[in-house]
Amino acid sequence: MSDVSRSFEESLERILSIEALLASAEHDEPLGPEVQRDLVGLGWAGVWLDETGLELEERLELAAVAGRRLLPAAIRGESLILAPLLDGARLDALLDGSLRGGGGVARGDSALVALAPGAELAGVLGDGWAAVIDVRDAEPVAGLEAGQGLARVRVAADARVPAPPRIAEHIELAVLAELYGAAQHALAISVAYAAEREQFGRPIASFQAVSHTLARMAVDLEALDAGIGRLAARGEPRLAAVLRYAGPAAARRVVEGAIQVHGGMGFTWELGLHLHYRRVLDLQAQLDGSAEEVGAMVLDG
């Protein structure tokens, strides 16, 4: 892991306590002002800006950190979509936190966007177009990922500009990396739990039924890593379609396996695995891939 992502990870571990995340989800309210201030202070909004000068691999490593630590979805939107669409004073304001925002990907002319508290602007990416829109009056939507500030917005045709180059690819890769991070966390805590939790007088990891479940989770995670690495290097449209479909499915199986391995604890509110599960389900829906899309590409090839 690079120094940059290690330092981000340590900061997030400190800022985003499980208690704070659970309270935010419980009341469907954003994380409190102090947490928000600390999050803005990380400078995450600038991660995907060209001038920040990070390599793609470093950015993806950070996206994986976001998945492990459940970085608020609004910051994903700010950094991946909104920041690249802003310049001058508005960009400076976003980076210093005096302007908050969010973002999301459109289906047709409407989009579900995740908004930070007090958000004024959101970046929306459509099919070949992008838009910065005023979200001060956006209509809130109750989301599966409670506390993420979900809202529905419409983008008028005259607000659209051509999408910046590569932004759609970056979003896909970042979402896949975030899925990887969420699944990686779920597997890591499951391995630790299975080695420690005893039933029938021995650690449950010593039962093959459990250790092979963990092994299957590891295989899914390894395949997702390899897929992201190859897509990042080559960017082939078919592989992108494969990963939109199979990537989230793999991450989802890992988190579902984690819930299973934790037994009753896995199903509790307090353990918080449901937060990673909600994140993975939300990202799966965002990528919206399908075996049918892949099949059509094979059959038309």
Partner 1 sequence: MTFPSPTLAFGPDEEALRARVREWLAGHDPGPPPEDYAARIEAQIGWQRALREAGFMGLSWPERFGGAGLDIASEAVLAEELAASGMPELINRIGVYMIGPTLMDMGDESQQERFLSGMLDASELWCQGFSEPGAGSDLAAVRTAGRVSDDEVVISGQKVWTSRAGIARWCAALVRTERGSERHRGLSMAIVDMRSPGVTVRPLPQMLNEPHFNEVFFDEVRVPLRDVIGGLGAGWKVAMQMLGYERGLFVLERQIRLRGRLDELAAAVRDRADAAVRRRIGAVAAELDLLECVVYRTLAAQRAGTLRPGATSVDKLLLSHAYQELFAAAVELLGPDVARGANGWTHDLLESRAVSIYGGTTEIQHGIVARQLLGLKA
Q: What residues from 46 to 105 belong to the interface with partner 1 (CB under 8 A)?
A: 57, 60-61, 64
Q: How is residue 80 written in tokens?
A: 């991946």
* β partners of residue 107: 110
- Compute the least distance from the CB of residue 47 to partner 1, in Å: 15
| CB environment 257-276: b (16+ within 10 A), e (fewer) | bbbebbeeebeeeebbbbbb
Determine the size of the site formed for partner 1 (CB under 8 A): 49
- Closest distance between partner 1 and the C-beta of residue 96, in Å? 30
- Per-residue contact flags (x/-) with partner 1 for residues 216 to 235, judged by CB under 8 A: x-xx--xx-xxxxxxxxxx-
The piece of 108-116, 145-153, 202-210, 257-265 that touches partner 1 (CB under 8 A) is: 202-210
Classified as helix, coil or strand, 77 is helix
**Could you tell me how many residues make up the chain?**
301
Helix ranges, the chain (H): 3-15, 18-26, 33-41, 56-69, 73-77, 83-85, 88-96, 167-196, 208-234, 237-261, 263-266, 273-287, 291-300
Residue whose token pair is 């571990």: 13
Q: How far is the CB of 31 from partner 1 (least distance, A)?
A: 26
Does 293 participate in binding partner 1 (rule CB under 8 A)? yes
What backbone phi and psi angles, to 5 degrees, belong to 122? -130, 145
- The nearer residue to partner 1, 27 or 230, going by C-beta atoms, is 230
Q: How many CB atoms lie within 10 A of CB 22?
A: 17
Stretch that binds partner 1, among 36-44, 99-107, 206-214, 277-285 (CB under 8 A): 206-214
At its nearest, how many Å lie between partner 1 and the CB of residue 158?
37
144-178 core/surface letters (b: 16 or more CB in 10 A; e: else): ebbbbbbbebebeeeebeebeeebbebbbbbbbbb
For strands 161-162 and 139-140, give the pairing: unpaired
Single residue of 17, 199, 268, 290 touching partner 1 by CB under 8 A: 290
Determine if 214 is a binding residue for partner 1 (CB under 8 A). Answer: yes
* Residue 250 Cβ vs partner 1, minimum distance, rounded to whole Å: 8
Q: What does the per-residue mask of binding to partner 1 show for 153-192, with x meaning CB under 8 A? A: ------------------------x--x----------x-
* Binding status of residue 294 toward partner 1 by CB under 8 A: yes
| Stretch of 27-35, 141-149, 199-207, 254-262 contacting partner 1, by CB under 8 A | 199-207
Q: Could you list the residues that contact partner 1 (CB under 8 A)? A: 1, 57, 60-61, 64, 177, 180, 191, 194-195, 203, 205-206, 208, 211-212, 214-216, 218-219, 222-223, 225-234, 238-239, 242, 245-246, 290-299, 301
